[in-house]
Amino acid sequence: MEPFEEYVVDKYLTLRDALKLLPGVMPNKSKWLIDEAFEIIIGANFETIEPSYQVGGTILTPDERKELYIETENFYGTTVIRTSPKGAKVLLKLYYNGDLILKKGQKVVKETELQTYIDKESYFLEEADRIRREREHRQFLIENPDQIKEAEFCYSLLNTVLYRHRGPGDQSMILDGIEVEKIVTTYRSNSGKSKDSEVIIRWTGSDGTPHKLTKESMYSGNRRNDPDRNWGLPE
């Protein structure tokens, strides 16, 4: 999966949240039903051309499963199942077909809040295309720094360009007729076993305004780096 696709997928509804938008559905039990169904592949045989999956009485294609059941990881490394707007259409089909588990006394209804999410398909496609084009443009600028304009100056781009074309440490480079300087200061942890750098990127704009972008070091405030505390040495 491309980085721009990952960015968009992370904004998709989780499968459980999508199920909550279907009136009368028991989201946890219905998700478990889908989990179990996707563990079983109906293999290719004389009747079928490709493997498929069965949820309740409905047969789903691999493409439908791919959109309905997208495996992602959260910050903690835990698997999170998400569903795209296309996948939500598949979920709605399962709902209308009576394949999901409903609460006692509840019935399938035509109008659902899930439709609003389904209607956002074009938004996600446009967002993915926008991010892809931005990443491609950024990569072009990194490879061709002479094309960078002052209005595009930002820490991430300048730091990458200076490292790529000038190397590590203190460096400078002319970009869009402006001298951009990078100053690197290394700080150590109190134990001295780890280190991290503070990076300052500065320039004077074409209008005479000075600019400074700073990435602080996680260790800059440690006693080992403080002369007023004897550089962390015992008194």
Q: What one-character-per-residue DSSP string does 103-150 give?
A: PTT----S--THHHHHTTHHHHHHHHHHHHHHHHHHHHHHH-GGG--G
My answer on whether 120 and 41 are in the same domain is yes
- 13-14 sheet: strands from edge to edge: 13-14, 79-83, 70-73
SS3 (DSSP) at 151: helix
My answer on whether 67 and 153 are in the same domain is no
Q: Is residue 178 part of a domain?
A: yes
Domain extent at residue 127: 3-132
Per-residue pLDDT, 87: 96
- Give 80's strand partners: 72
My answer on whether 48 and 20 are in the same domain is yes
Per-residue pLDDT, 88: 97
Give tens-digit pLDDT for 7-45: 789 999 999 999 999 999 999 999 999 999 988 765 545
> What are 11's two structure tokens?
């904004």
Q: Is residue 14 part of a domain?
A: yes
My answer on whether 127 and 152 are in the same domain is no
Percent of the chain at pLDDT exceeding 70: 88
My answer on whether 171 and 128 are in the same domain is no
My answer on whether 123 and 203 are in the same domain is no
Q: What number is the average pLDDT over the span 172-190?
A: 94
Q: Is residue 231 part of a domain?
A: no
Domain edge (last residue) among 132, 163, 189: 132
> For the chain, what is the total number of helices (H) and then of strands (E)?
8, 9
Q: How far apart are CA 81 and CA 1, in angstroms?
A: 15
List the single range of 42-46, 65-69, 93-97 with lowest mean pLDDT: 42-46
> What are 25's two structure tokens?
């559905």
Whole-angstrom distance between the N-terminal and C-terminal Cα of the chain? 55
My answer on whether 126 and 154 are in the same domain is no
Instruction: Please tell me the pTM assigned to this model.
Output: 0.70
Q: Is residue 13 part of a domain?
A: yes
**Residue 203, class by beta-carbon neighbours within 10 Å (0-12 exposed, 13-18 middle, 19+ buried)?**
buried
**Mean pLDDT of all residues belonging to the chain:** 89
My answer on whether 128 and 166 are in the same domain is no
**pLDDT tier for residue 222 given thresholds of 50, 70 and 90:** low
Domain edge (last residue) among 78, 101, 132: 132
Rg of the chain (C-alpha set): 27
Domain edge (last residue) among 66, 100, 132: 132
Q: Give the Å distances, CA to CA, from 60 to 32, 40, 41, 52, 217.
A: 17, 12, 10, 6, 52
Q: Is residue 232 part of a domain?
A: no
Q: Is residue 235 part of a domain?
A: no
My answer on whether 34 and 112 are in the same domain is yes
My answer on whether 152 and 221 are in the same domain is yes
Domain count, the chain: 2
Give tens-digit pLDDT for 104-122: 999 999 999 999 999 999 9
List the single range of 1-15, 82-96, 134-148 with lowest mean pLDDT: 1-15
What is the DSSP secondary structure assignment for residue 52, as one 8-state letter?
B
Per-residue pLDDT, 31: 96
Q: How far apart are CA 121 and CA 100, in angstroms?
A: 23
My answer on whether 92 and 20 are in the same domain is yes
My answer on whether 116 and 12 are in the same domain is yes
